[in-house]
Amino acid sequence: MSGHTENSVFIAAPFGVVWAATNDVENWPDLFTEYASVEILEQRSDAECQADTVRFRLVMHPDADGRVWSWVSERTVDHERREVRAHRVEPGPFRYMNIHWSYEEVDGGVRMTWVQDFAMRPDAPVDDEAMTVRININSVIQMEVIRGKLERLAAGELDPAGAGAGAPGTPGVAGMARDTRA
């Protein structure tokens, strides 16, 4: 058995805003509410394929039991196809975890879709079915947070240069994690 999820969100913002912010892995702790930190381990670029690959370590905020989850992932951005493929290099409780992000320009914004295919290890704290439920719940939450932040960024309500660079009290992209309005 294995797990599969597919979740989408419509973001009323220009493609360039959505693409740039969601592919700026270094600033994911400011975009997502679940990540405490990210460390970029390696970056490669293939100009011929218009693809960039980044290997990074994500660290989550402590869970309800105080555990801090961390793993290394590798993510390849395909500019031409407007998609991203990722997988966990350190799978942790997963036997494997593969993620596909796609971006479709639609009238008035962008439809961003995340597809996740995975299988849990036999000794993992949850099975494939339970993880599917968790991922589906959390993806919707994170997508709504991202939607809200990027729509406010596109509307000029967030300063893309970072907190403190804009109007007083106006969080920027670098300060989005502290701004949890969706």
The pTM of this model reads: 0.84
User: Rounded to 5, what percent of the chain is helix, strand, coil?
Assistant: 25, 40, 35
On whether the CB atoms of residues 110 and 9 are closer than 8 A, the answer is no
pLDDT of the chain, 182 residues: tens digit per residue: 699 999 999 999 999 999 999 999 999 999 999 999 999 999 988 766 556 999 999 999 998 899 999 999 999 999 999 999 999 999 989 999 999 999 999 999 999 999 999 999 999 999 999 999 999 999 999 999 999 999 999 999 876 654 222 333 333 444 443 343 34
Q: From 114, 43, 57, select the one nearest 84 (Cα to Cα).
A: 114
